[in-house]
């Protein structure tokens, strides 16, 4: 399958006609790349290991502190690189203030949307498997409507984003997500029965 996609891409994607100057800046922000990668790896590792090692264990606490510290160091370094114009920053921090802060707000809403969606899905799986005592296949069947709804939402978004401002769509989407989650929680609690 991957070979077929590669061949189709090789045939259909246009070649890059822009000529690059040998004098343009091709440097890599190695300190920024190291600090953000190490910070995110340590943070992810700590969050994944905390349920088994315990949130109060010295390993988890130290990994969380060092991970967050490295991410803060990354932001400070990127600020320094942007101001000193020493090299090209890995991530220019002015990206968050573009369009009067709309981009930053949009990313915050998208983050919160995804976090709430993932959390609801996680707890719904636990509910079906540990409380209702369904096997994984029957649990998966309960989530098929969610997949089909997601496909329909993608088509609707693709058709409307060209005519309606994306900021408005993103601003309205939490209302539907909130309503869907509250309805789903009510359904789950309505069917709940004691063990």
Please give the C-alpha separations between residue 118 and each of 63, 102, 125, 145, 160, in angstroms, as whole numbers: 24, 24, 11, 16, 25
Query: pLDDT digit string (tens) for 117-142?
Result: 888 888 888 888 998 899 999 988 88
Which long-range contacts (C-beta less than 8 Å, at least 24 apart) are formed by 107-114?
109/170, 109/171, 109/173, 109/174, 110/170, 112/174, 113/173, 113/174, 113/177
**DSSP letters along 96-125, please?**
GGTTTTHHHHHHHHHHHHHHHHHHHHHHHH
pLDDT at 108: 85
* Residue 95: DSSP 8-state: G
| pLDDT surpasses 70 at 102 | yes
| pLDDT surpasses 50 at 70 | yes
pLDDT bin (cut points 50, 70, 90) of residue 183 is low
pLDDT bin (cut points 50, 70, 90) of residue 178 is low
Q: To which H or E segment does residue 57 belong? A: none
Residue 126: name the closest of 113, 142, 145 by CA.
Answer: 142
Average pLDDT over residues 39-57: 92
The winner for highest mean pLDDT among 8-12, 54-58, 103-107 is 54-58
Average pLDDT over residues 24-44: 87
* Residue 10: DSSP 8-state: H
Top pLDDT among 163 and 63 is at 63
Specify the range with the lowest mean pLDDT, choosing from 30-34, 102-106, 130-134.
Answer: 102-106
Please give the C-alpha separations between residue 72 and each of 42, 50, 76, 105, in angstroms, as whole numbers: 13, 22, 6, 20
The span from the CA of 152 to the CA of 156, in Å, is 6
Sign of CA dihedral 95, 39, 48, 51: negative
Residue 13: both structure tokens together: 């994607």
pLDDT at 190: 62
pLDDT at 66: 96
Q: Give the residue extent of every domain in the chain.
A: 28-95, 98-190
pLDDT at 194: 46
* Residue 94: DSSP 8-state: G
Q: Considering the entire predicted model, what is its pTM?
A: 0.60
Please check whether residue 161 is in contact with residue 170, taking contact to mean a CB–CB distance below 8 angstroms: no
Average pLDDT of the chain? 81
Average pLDDT over residues 150-157: 80
The winner for highest mean pLDDT among 64-68, 100-104, 105-109 is 64-68
């Amino acid at each position: 399958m991957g070979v077929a996609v590669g061949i189709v891409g090789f045939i259909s994607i246009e070649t890059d006609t822009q000529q690059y100057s040998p004098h343009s800046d091709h440097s890599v922000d190695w300190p920024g790349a190291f600090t953000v990668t190490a910070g995110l790896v340590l943070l992810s590792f700590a969050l994944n290991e905390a349920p088994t090692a315990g949130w109060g264990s010295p390993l988890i606490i130290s990994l969380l502190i060092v991970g967050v510290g490295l991410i803060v160091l990354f932001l400070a370094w990127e600020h320094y690189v942007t101001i000193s114009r020493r090299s090209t920053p890995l991530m220019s921090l002015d990206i968050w203030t573009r369009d009067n802060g709309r981009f930053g707000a949009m990313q915050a809403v998208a983050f919160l949307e995804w976090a709430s969606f993932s959390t609801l899905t996680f707890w719904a799986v636990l509910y079906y498997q540990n409380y209702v005592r369904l096997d994984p296949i029957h649990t998966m069947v309960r989530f098929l409507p969610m997949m089909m709804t997601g496909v329909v939402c993608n088509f609707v978004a693709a058709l409307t984003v060209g005519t309606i401002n994306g900021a408005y769509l993103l601003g309205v989407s939490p209302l539907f997500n909130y309503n869907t989650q509250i309805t789903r929680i009510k359904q789950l609690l309505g069917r709940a029965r004691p063990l």
